[in-house]
Amino acid sequence: MAKKTSYPKSDIRVLLLEGVSQNAVDTFREAGYSQIEVHDKSLPEDELKRRIAEAHIIGIRSRTQLTAEMLAEARRLIAIGCFCIGTSQVDLDAAELLGIPVFNAPYSNTRSVAELVVAEAIMLMRGIPQKSAQCHRGGWSKSAAGSHEVRGKTIGIVGYGHIGTQVGLIAEALGMRVVFHDIEAKLSLGNAHAAAGLDDLLAQSDVVTLHVPETPATRDMIGASQIASMRPGAHLINASRGKVVDIDALAGALQSGQLGGAAVDVFPVEPKANGDLFESPLVGLDNVILTPHIGGSTLEAQDNIGLEVAAKLVRYSDNGSTLSAVNFPEVTLPGHEGSLRLLHIHRNVPGMLSRVNEIFSQAGVNIDGQFLRTHPNVGYVVIDVAATDAQAVQLKEQLAAIPGTLRTRSLV
Ligand SMILES: NC(=O)C1=CN([C@@H]2O[C@H](COP(=O)(O)OP(=O)(O)OC[C@H]3O[C@@H](n4cnc5c(N)ncnc54)[C@H](O)[C@@H]3O)[C@@H](O)[C@H]2O)C=CC1
Ligand SMILES: O=C(O)C(=O)COP(=O)(O)O
């Protein structure tokens, strides 16, 4: 009998890195996938190149860099799962042009980051990092000098998205005044209000917290001149991405006392694995809370992320749905029981759909359903047909031969 599916489930290799939750493994197993390789850290570049060449599905967190060069090795890869929120570690455009959708978990660790940030705001405003460091060294300095309640103080949130809004709501419940800055117009939650701009926010905040993604526009968005616009003795929290802050400028401002303190969870360069040496100009500064990129690292968040991203990957692999892909035309698909489903991912050039349909009309095969979405560069069309096994193989080959085709798959 001719082979009807591009990849029967038993042949699909799933590679999960960076200690992705067991929930993800269970989700794949329950869906009938058996070839699941799990690593508790990211892989060195050479090894990753070898492993990714064999994988059909890869799951990573924030450490694994999937550059265009790395993706060029991924000849069999059909989908990428970022088991986190940020996706800047993946070259999303390169993945799209290879016909590979990328999925993430846009909300599952939001609350974990927000709770940590608000706790850090309290710690910083009480001078706890310095006081704790002194006690650890045998010192004792009981004093109220420089210690403040957060009640009535202003928290400035840069990036009022999922995390930023949660921080705002929790901070307001503690009696803080909340101002925010975002490049998009945002609905203010509670009594929060939009600052006139970044400088305005910096000038009125006792604590500034960053919740923007890493983009060309946010790189070094907090440098020496922005720090100079902050209130003398104010505090900075960064649990977004390391490259958003000029870390040398921050270290200078903390040493000089221009800033009162900082809490930093993310760094321009982070160790690849637990146990690797961590180096930063902030090391040794008593007024800084340093954490090893654990904003989203709670058991609750990791369990939810494992379920959410694995379910999206399974759904795409089994059914073709790309709902909530971050780089790809989004198609929500019904089940296709009884039909052959063909997926055709192509460069978005004029005339592609008519070439696709021509193949079915010439083969005398009726189309039961068709779904199309396009992005500026890439189009994704899904065609459900009643076809014999022999027709299925031929149709897929013909679709693959259309110039501009990036990838085809067939699902039964
Ligand atoms: N430390 C950790 O473990 C974690 C860190 N993160 C980081 O936090 C970031 C934010 O996460 P979410 O709130 O879920 O993202 P989100 O996409 O919901 O919100 C980001 C907000 O930033 C705004 N923004 C983008 N560029 C901006 C600019 N140049 N200036 C001002 N605002 C700008 C956007 O309009 C959006 O409202 C993620 O991209 C990720 O890098 C996320 C989870 C865990
Ligand atoms: O969700 C994110 O963007 C994070 O930064 C968390 O990354 P992690 O999964 O802890 O490597």
Task: Give the mean model confidence (pLDDT) for residues 79-92.
Answer: 97
Percent of the chain with pLDDT over 90: 93
Task: Give the mean model confidence (pLDDT) for residues 303-313.
Answer: 97
Average predicted confidence (pLDDT) for the chain = 95
Question: Ligand 1: which residue has its CA nearest to atom 31?
Answer: 182
Q: Is 108 in the pocket of ligand 1 (CB under 6 A)?
A: no
Residue with tokens 């939810």: 304
> Would you put residue 233 in left (φ > 0), alpha (ψ -120 to 50) or beta?
left
Which ligand has an atom closest to residue 212 CA? 1
Give 145-165 pLDDT, tens digit per residue.
Answer: 999 999 999 999 999 999 999
pLDDT at 191: 97
Give 322-370 pLDDT, tens digit per residue.
Answer: 999 999 999 999 998 888 999 999 999 999 999 999 999 999 998 999 9
Task: Give the mean model confidence (pLDDT) for residues 239-249.
Answer: 98
Quick check: 359 and 399 in contact, CB under 8 A? yes
pLDDT at 2: 38
Question: Does the complex come out with an ipTM higher than 0.95?
Answer: yes
Q: Is 82 in the pocket of ligand 2 (CB under 6 A)?
A: no
**350: which residues sit within 8 A by CB, 6+ positions away?**
none
pLDDT at 409: 94
Kindly indicate the confidence band of residue 1, based on its pLDDT and cuts at 50, 70 and 90.
very low
In the predicted structure, residue 5 carries a pLDDT above the cut 80 = no
Residue 293 among the catalytic residues: yes
pLDDT at 272: 84
Give 17-29 pLDDT, tens digit per residue.
Answer: 999 999 999 999 9
In the predicted structure, residue 141 carries a pLDDT above the cut 50 = yes
Q: Is 109 in the pocket of ligand 2 (CB under 6 A)?
A: yes
Active-site residue, from 270, 330, 347, 373: 270
Which one, of 105, 115, 77, lies nearest residue 20 by Cα? 105
